[in-house]
């Protein structure tokens, strides 16, 4: 019995000893809340959709952090914290320019809060409003196109709606995401009939812009039917011998690009110098309007993936090898874009992933093949001429500075109008 008592006493001593050494006892639960932030010591710098606050921290050893609370619109409250190591914080998410009240609380180590310090801030026009003023909505081949200018490089959703059945109800067509300073997005696969289209912007705080609405009639477009055919010319790049998974140029039009075994793709030799050229026979004459180039599955943004390239077309029966011979026209120069900044992923990943085998939206964007458009330029005011052959001239891989290297491409699909 005595042994049991001694053991219990030792356990109690051990527990007591542990408790005495606990860091929790260093917190004074009875200490008052820290002094509030002095409102006269808060400097405000207006920003687009927000403001930068710089303040003087209360001189209190119990201070742990400063908490901020504010409403970006009625009923939508934002809370933020900044430690005592910092005296600057950015508040953001306001959907309109104007005056707003931010409440600052000094919070002690015992989590007691000071009385709030109210500070009125002024915000500038937010990107969701500013960018909307730049929007242009026009028809294009098999769809509509939205142009935008986004000087602050804010992450925005471009939401396209349409009444395609004429019942007065606008339905979601597609959502695009961008943080580029300027650019365009295109929705394809729409019928060549007049319909009402609208577009608005949304930011990560669910602020929405006004809506731009127009009646548009997309131009007729079709996929140039596959299979295409190889048409090797003397300066074309050498291709790896085919083994069922990589090699032949015919893998560019086998409609197999998903990340499933076998991982097929057109592949060149690892020591091939840049630029690298390959030539394709469409086996018909067509006016080209756009195309998709797919990174090979599991090689997305890898060193072997295409980064910069040019597209040429020829309507000659037997075009010369020299691109400067007059037989070829330069249809455009392109750069494979970075993955878009997606801040929400609706069911199905919307534009960037619609296949269950692709769980990663960045991988989806690359392997699904972003759309490249053939458009008028100062160099070529009218690129819409019939062609039979196309040549892709690869300038850079995703290694960027490499002067040589293999290239792997999953699929190549062209769109336009077939002609006699």
Question: Which CATH number goes with the domain that contains 344?
Answer: 2.60.120.260
Q: 135 and 100 share a domain?
A: no
How many Cβ atoms from other residues are within 10 Å of residue 346's Cβ? 11
Q: 296 and 414 share a domain?
A: yes
Q: 373 and 228 share a domain?
A: yes
HEC string of 43-62?
EEEEEECEEEEECCCCCCCC
Domain contains 21: no
pLDDT in tens, 320-334: 999 999 999 999 999
β-strands 76-83, 88-92 pairing: unpaired
Q: How confident is the model at residue 17 (pLDDT cuts 50, 70, 90)?
A: very low
Q: How confident is the model at residue 344 (pLDDT cuts 50, 70, 90)?
A: very low
- What is the C-alpha end-to-end distance of the chain, expressed in Å? 107
Which of the listed residues 216, 247, 274 is the one where a domain comes to its end?
216
Q: 233 and 314 share a domain?
A: yes
The reported pLDDT for the residue numbered 128 is: 96
Which of the listed residues 72, 90, 125 is the one where a domain comes to its end?
125
pLDDT in tens, 225-264: 999 999 999 999 998 876 666 778 998 998 876 655 566 7
Q: Does the pTM of the predicted model rise above 0.85?
A: no
- Where is average pLDDT lowest: 19-28, 82-91, 206-215, 347-356? 347-356
Q: 389 or 84: which carries more pLDDT confidence?
A: 389
Q: Over 70: is that where the pLDDT of 412 sits? A: yes
What does the DSSP 8-state code read for residue 242? P
- Where is average pLDDT lowest: 35-49, 77-91, 344-358? 344-358
Q: 102 or 339: which carries more pLDDT confidence?
A: 102
Residue with tokens 């219990």: 8
Q: 249 and 378 share a domain?
A: yes
The reported pLDDT for the residue numbered 363 is: 64
Please state the domain count of the chain.
3
The reported pLDDT for the residue numbered 266 is: 87
- Where is average pLDDT lowest: 36-45, 133-142, 403-412? 403-412
Q: 368 and 325 share a domain?
A: yes
Coil, helix or strand for 129? helix
What does the DSSP 8-state code read for residue 34? P
- Nearest Cα neighbor of 412 from 383, 374, 375, 369 is 369
The reported pLDDT for the residue numbered 244 is: 62
- Nearest Cα neighbor of 331 from 313, 319, 349, 318 is 313
Coil, helix or strand for 112? coil
Burial of 303 from C-beta contacts in 10 A (0-12 / 13-18 / 19+):
middle
Q: 96 and 174 share a domain?
A: no
Q: How confident is the model at residue 87 (pLDDT cuts 50, 70, 90)?
A: very high
Q: 275 and 210 share a domain?
A: no
Q: 231 and 193 share a domain?
A: no
Helical residues (DSSP H) of 81-187, grouped into ranges = 127-130
Q: Return the CATH number at 118.
A: 2.60.40.10
Q: How confident is the model at residue 353 (pLDDT cuts 50, 70, 90)?
A: very low
Q: How confident is the model at residue 364 (pLDDT cuts 50, 70, 90)?
A: low
Q: 208 and 254 share a domain?
A: no
Q: 253 and 366 share a domain?
A: yes
Domain contains 26: no
Coil, helix or strand for 352? coil
Q: Which residues form the domain of 192? A: 128-216
C-alpha radius of gyration, the chain, whole number: 30
């Amino acid at each position: 019995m005595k042994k049991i008592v001694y053991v219990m006493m030792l356990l109690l001593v051990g527990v007591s000893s542990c408790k005495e050494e606990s860091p929790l006892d260093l917190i004074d639960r009875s200490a008052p809340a820290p002094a509030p932030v002095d409102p006269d010591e808060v400097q405000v710098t207006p920003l687009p959709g927000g403001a930068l606050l710089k303040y003087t921290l209360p001189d209190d050893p119990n201070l742990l952090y400063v908490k901020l609370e504010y409403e970006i619109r009625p009923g939508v409250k934002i809370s933020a914290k900044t430690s005592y190591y910092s005296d600057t914080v950015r508040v953001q998410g306001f959907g309109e320019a104007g005056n707003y009240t931010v409440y600052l609380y000094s919070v002690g180590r015992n989590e007691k809060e000071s009385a709030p310090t109210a500070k009125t801030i002024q915000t500038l026009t937010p990107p969701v409003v500013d960018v909307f003023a730049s929007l242009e909505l026009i028809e294009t081949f098999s769809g509509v196109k939205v142009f935008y200018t986004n000087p602050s490089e804010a992450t925005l959703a471009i939401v396209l709606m349409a009444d395609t059945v004429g019942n007065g109800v606008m339905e979601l067509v597609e959502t695009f995401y961008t943080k580029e300073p300027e650019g365009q997005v295109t929705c394809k696969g729409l019928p060549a009939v007049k319909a009402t289209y609208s577009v608005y912007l949304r930011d990560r705080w669910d602020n929405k812009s006004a809506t731009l609405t127009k009646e548009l009639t997309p131009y007729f477009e079709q996929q140039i039917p596959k299979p295409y055919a190889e048409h090797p010319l003397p300066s074309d790049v050498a291709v790896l011998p085919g083994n069922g998974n990589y090699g032949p140029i015919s893998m560019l039009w086998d409609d197999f690009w998903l990340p499933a075994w076998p991982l097929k793709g057109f592949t060149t030799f690892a020591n091939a110098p840049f630029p690298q050229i390959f030539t394709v026979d469409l086996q018909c004459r067509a006016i080209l309007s756009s195309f998709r180039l797919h990174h090979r599955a599991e090689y997305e943004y890898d060193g072997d993936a295409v980064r910069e390239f040019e597209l040429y077309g020829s309507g000659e029966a037997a075009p010369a090898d020299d691109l400067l011979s007059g037989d070829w026209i330069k249809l455009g120069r392109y750069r494979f874009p970075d993955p878009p900044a997606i801040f929400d992923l609706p069911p199905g990943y919307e534009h960037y992933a619609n296949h269950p085998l692709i769980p990663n939206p960045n991988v989806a964007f690359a392997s699904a093949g972003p759309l490249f458009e053939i458009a008028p330029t100062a160099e070529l005011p009218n690129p819409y001429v019939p062609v039979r052959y196309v040549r892709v001239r690869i300038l850079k891989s995703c290694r960027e500075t490499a002067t040589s290297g293999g290239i792997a491409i999953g699929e190549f699909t062209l769109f336009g109008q077939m002609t006699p």
